[in-house]
Structure 1
Amino acid sequence: MCWACSGTRSSIPPAARYCWTARQSSTSFSLPRAADSGERDEPMLNEILSSARTAWEGLQERLFFLPPFPDELDSLALFSMLLVVGLLVGEWLRAKLGWPKVIGYVLAGTLFGPSLLGWISIEALAQIRPMADAALGLLMLEIGRRLDLRWLGENRDLLRATLGEITLSFTAIFLFAWGVVGLMAAWAAAAAAVTMASAPAVVLLTVEESNAQGQVSERIILHTALSAAASFVVFAVVVGVVHAQYSDDWLNAVAHPLWVVVGSVMIAWLMALLARLVAALLPKRSLAQVFILVATALLAVGTARMLAVPVFLTLFLMGVILSFSDQERTLSYTNLPEGHWLLAIILFVVVGASLPWQDFTWLIGLQAIGLLIVRAVAKVAALAWAGGDLGVARRVLVGIGIQPLSATAVFMAYEIAGLYPEIGRSSLSLPLFAAAIMELAGPALCRFAVVRAGETAATDNSKEGVA
C-alpha cells in the first residue's frame, strides 16, 4: 500500500474534488477491484469446458432449437453454487470441529470471490447486494428489538460499563490509527467509527446457534446493540468530518449527516408504525404477524436504498422503535422465522467475497492486528473496571464475547470510502482488513465466551450431519 496517497499525515493527498450529484447511491455496492483474478481463471475454465463446447456445437447442427453455448456460467447459477458450498462448509465446521457456522460462510465467500478464485464476479455481487441488504436489515431489526432501554436506565452499573466501553474503544482505536499508523485525523476517526462496535449479526447468530441463555449472553447482546448504536452516531458525524476535510462546499458537511440520521429515523418510524397498525388487526404470534414484520422490514430496506440512507442504521432504529413503542405487546412475541439463517448465508458469503484481499500487504496485516489488540484490550478493560453485580471473571467473558467485527463494519467502511473513492479506498484498508481477520476469529471468540460462562445447552455434534 502506498501510504503517501492514502490520507496519511505525512503526506497530504492531492485535493479530491467530488461531484455530489454524481455520487453513487447505496443501491450500488462499491466493491474492491478484482485484481484480474477473474481474468486469470477464464483460460482455466475455458479449457475445462472446451470439450463440452465442442460436443454442444455438434448437437446444434441437428437440434436447431438449442441456444449458443454460453461463454461463461450464469452469475446467478455460480452464486447459487457458492451458497451451497458455504452452507456445506459451515455445517461441516459446526459438526466436526464445533466452530460457528458463520466462519464457513465467510471462508466460502472469500475463496470463490473476486479477490481469490474470482468465480463470482464483482458484477454478480452487485446484483446480489439487495439480498445482502435484506439479510443484514432483518438481523439488525432483531438486534434493535432486543435493546431494552428501560432496563439500561434502571441499571446504572450497566450504563456506566456501556459508556466506558464505547468511549474507551473509540479513543483507543483513534489514537492507534492516528498516532501509530499515521492516518489523517478524519480517516482515523472513520476507522474508529467503523471498528469500535461489535458485529450485531455475528453475535446474534452465534448466541442463537449456541442456544446460550444467561447473564453473560444477554449482556453480550446488549453491549453489542449499544455499541452498534453509538458507532452509527459516530458514523454520521464522521461523514460530516470527511466532507469538511475534502469538500469545497461546507453544506455537504452539514446536510449529509442530517440526511443520514433524519432519513433513517423517519423511515424507521414510519415502517414501525405501519407494522404495529397492521399487526394489531391480526392474531398475536400468528404467521400473518410474522409476514407483516418481515414485509415492513423489507419495505424499509427498499426505501432506505432508494434514498441513499444506510440500511443497517434504518433497520436497527426500526427495531428499537418497535421495542420501545409497542406498549400493547402487539409484536413483542413475534419472532423472525428460522429462515433468517438462510439470509445469513447470503450475507456472510457476500461479505467474505467483498473483502479486498488482493490489496493485502504484511504491513497492513500487522497494523490490522495491532488495531484489533488495542480494541480488544479497551473493551475487556472497560467492562472489567466497570464494577457491578456481575463478577469480574464474567465481565471479562462479556468483553471477549463482544469482539466480533463483521458485516456492519464492512458496509460502513465502503459507505464512507465511496464519498471520495480516490482517497477513501486506501485510507480504510486498515479497518477492512481488521474486519477480515475478525470475520474468522470473532465468531469463535463469542462462542468461547458463552461456552466458558456455562450458558450453552450441551449438544452432540457427532450426531449431526454435514448439511
Structure 2
Amino acid sequence: MLETLRTAWEALLERLLFLPPFPEQIDSLALFSLLLVVGLLLGEWLHARAGWPKVVGYVLAGTLFGPTLLGWISFEALAQARPLADAALGLLMMEVGRRLDLGWLFRNPELLRSTLSDITLSFALIFAFAFWLIGMSPGWAAATAAVTMASAPSVVLLAIEDGKAQGLVSDRIMLHTALSSAASFVAFTLVLGIIHAEHSTDWLNAATHPLWVAGGGLLIGWLGARIAIVIARRLPKGSLAQVFVLVASALLAVGLARMLAVPVFLSLFLMGILLAAGDRQQVLRYTSLPEGHWLLAIILFVIVGASLPWQEFTWLTGLQALGLLVVRAAAKSAALAWSGGSLPLPKRLLVGLGIQPLSATAVFMAYEIAALYPEIGRSALALPLFAAAIMELAGPALCQMALRRSGECETTTTQAGGIA
C-alpha cells in the first residue's frame, strides 16, 4: 500500500510543482505531538483504573515509544525536543523555589535539624556505597551522591498539587524537597571541580567551572526575578498579564542559561528563591501557573522517559541501582526518625516516605556531569541514571501513598464519563 501511494505521489509531482517529495517518514514534531497525546491518555487511564500517579503513565509512554524500545522518537528528535524539556523543568523548578520558606525553617529548630540530618546522612551513605561497595573513584562517587541525594522537586510538587494536600506532612515534604535540592545543587557545583581535577590536564577547568555555574546561575536567576517583579508592578495583581510576564521572564532565564552553558534547573530554582525573597510588596505572591503544571509534566516526563538509557541496562547495574536506592531510603528515613521534634514519629516517617522520589532533576544533573567527559561519564553515571529510572516509576507512587496516609489530601470523586 505504501509503495502504491509513493508511485501515485511521484506521478503527481510531474504535474503539481508545489508538492514536496514523498515523505519517507513522519515529521519528528508530529511524532512527538502524538507521543505527548499517548502519554496523556496513558497517565489518565492508569490514574482512573489503577489509582496510579499520572506521572507514571507519562514516563512509561516516553520509555515505550522512545529510541530504546519502539523507536517512535529518534535520538535526533529527542535532542531537538530538549529545549522543551528544559523549559518545562525550569518553570517547575521556579515554582519549587518560590515555595521555599526559609523563615519557617529558621524559626523552627527541629526543622533545621531534620533537614540537615537528611542532607548530611543521604550524601554520606550514598558516597560510601558508591566508593566502598561499587568501587567508584572519589570524584564519580561524589557525583553519584550529588545527583541522587535529593528528592525530585517536580514529582513532589505535582503530587501535592494533584492531591490538593495541605497540612504539616505535605508542607514538610515540600520543604525537605526544596532544601535537599538546594544542597544537591551546591554539591553538584563542587563536584564539577572535582571531576575536572581527576580528568583534566588544565587546573583552570577545576577552578573556574564551579564558579561559572554558581555565578552564572545566580546572575541569571536574579535578572529573571528582577525583570518579572519590575514589570509586574505595573500590572493588575493576579491578572493574566502578570502570569504572562512571569512565564516570559522564566523562559528568558531558560534561554540565557542554555546559551551560557549554565544548568537550567539551577538558574530557575535560584530565580524562584529570589522572586520570593525580593517581592517585598507581594506583587507576584499569589500569581502562579494556573493548571499549567500538568501540561509541563507531560512534556517533561515523556521526554525524560524517552531519554533513559535502557539499552545500556545490565542486571549487575540494576542490582547496584536497587542497592543505592535502599541505602538512600534508609538514610532519609533514619534522618527523619532520629531528628525528633513535635511531629509524631509515624508522621515523620511519612515525610521520609514522601521525599523518596528521584526523577527529572537527577537525570538532567547526571547528563550534565557525564557530558564533561563522555568517554568516562556515561558508564560512571549509569548507576544514578538507572536508580532514577527505577524511581521514575516507584517514586510518584511512594509520595502519593505518604500524602494519602497523612490524611491531608482532599477527597474527590471522579466524574462519570471522563477518562480520569
TM-score (norm 1): 0.88
Give 1:255's aligned residue: 208
Count of residue pairs the alignment pairs up: 420
Identity of aligned residues (%): 70
Give 2:259's aligned residue: 306
Which of 83, 90, 94 is the equivalent residue of 1:137?
90
Asked if 1:434 is matched to 2:379, the reply is: no
Give 1:68's aligned residue: 21
Residues 59-458 of structure 1: pairs in structure 2 closer than 5 A: 59-60=12-13, 63=16, 65-458=18-411
Separation in 2 of the partners of 1:394 and 1:292? 39
CA deviation after TM superposition for structure 1 residue 413, in Å: 0.2
CA 1:266–1:465: 2 relative to 1, 3 Å: same
5+ residue gaps, structure 1? 1-47
What is the identity, as a one-letter code, of the residue corresponding to 2:294? W
CA deviation after TM superposition for structure 1 residue 105, in Å: 0.5
Separation in 1 of the partners of 2:326 and 2:80? 36
Whether the 8 Å contact between 1:290 and 1:335 is mirrored in structure 2 is: yes
Task: Describe the SS at the equivalent of 1:410.
Answer: helix
Separation in 1 of the partners of 2:267 and 2:98? 13
Give 1:3's aligned residue: none
Separation in 1 of the partners of 2:243 and 2:132? 49
Whether the 8 Å contact between 1:149 and 1:324 is mirrored in structure 2 is: no
CA deviation after TM superposition for structure 1 residue 461, in Å: 3.6
Separation in 2 of the partners of 1:209 and 1:141? 18
Whether the 8 Å contact between 1:96 and 1:461 is mirrored in structure 2 is: no
CA deviation after TM superposition for structure 1 residue 342, in Å: 1.1
CA 1:276–1:397: 2 relative to 1, 3 Å: same
CA deviation after TM superposition for structure 1 residue 55, in Å: 4.4
CA 1:51–1:211: 2 relative to 1, 3 Å: farther
Whether the 8 Å contact between 1:403 and 1:445 is mirrored in structure 2 is: yes
CA 1:56–1:372: 2 relative to 1, 3 Å: same
What is the identity, as a one-letter code, of the residue corresponding to 2:399? C
Give 1:31's aligned residue: none
Whether the 8 Å contact between 1:169 and 1:379 is mirrored in structure 2 is: yes
Task: Describe the SS at the equivalent of 1:95.
Answer: helix
CA 1:310–1:51: 2 relative to 1, 3 Å: same
Whether the 8 Å contact between 2:158 and 2:293 is mirrored in structure 1 is: no
Separation in 1 of the partners of 2:142 and 2:3? 52
CA deviation after TM superposition for structure 1 residue 386, in Å: 0.5
What is the identity, as a one-letter code, of the residue corresponding to 1:371? L
Whether the 8 Å contact between 2:96 and 2:157 is mirrored in structure 1 is: yes
Separation in 2 of the partners of 1:316 and 1:424? 25
TM-score (norm 2): 0.98
What is the identity, as a one-letter code, of the residue corresponding to 1:145? R
Task: Describe the SS at the equivalent of 2:305.
Answer: helix
Deviates more, 1:392-401 or 1:331-340: 331-340
The superposition leaves residues 86-143 of structure 1 with CA deviations (integer Å, 9 ceiling, x where unpaired) of 0000110111111111001000000111111111011111111111111000000000
CA 1:424–1:459: 2 relative to 1, 3 Å: same
CA deviation after TM superposition for structure 1 residue 68, in Å: 2.0
Deviates more, 1:55-64 or 1:413-422: 55-64
The superposition leaves residues 22-57 of structure 1 with CA deviations (integer Å, 9 ceiling, x where unpaired) of xxxxxxxxxxxxxxxxxxxxxxxxxx8445434434
What is the identity, as a one-letter code, of the residue corresponding to 2:419? V
Whether the 8 Å contact between 1:244 and 1:253 is mirrored in structure 2 is: yes
5+ residue gaps, structure 2? none
What is the identity, as a one-letter code, of the residue corresponding to 1:154? R
The superposition leaves residues 58-102 of structure 1 with CA deviations (integer Å, 9 ceiling, x where unpaired) of 554665543221111111111011001000001101111111110
Separation in 2 of the partners of 1:101 and 1:442? 12
What is the identity, as a one-letter code, of the residue corresponding to 1:233? V
What is the identity, as a one-letter code, of the residue corresponding to 1:259? W
Separation in 2 of the partners of 1:112 and 1:232? 31
Whether the 8 Å contact between 1:95 and 1:464 is mirrored in structure 2 is: no
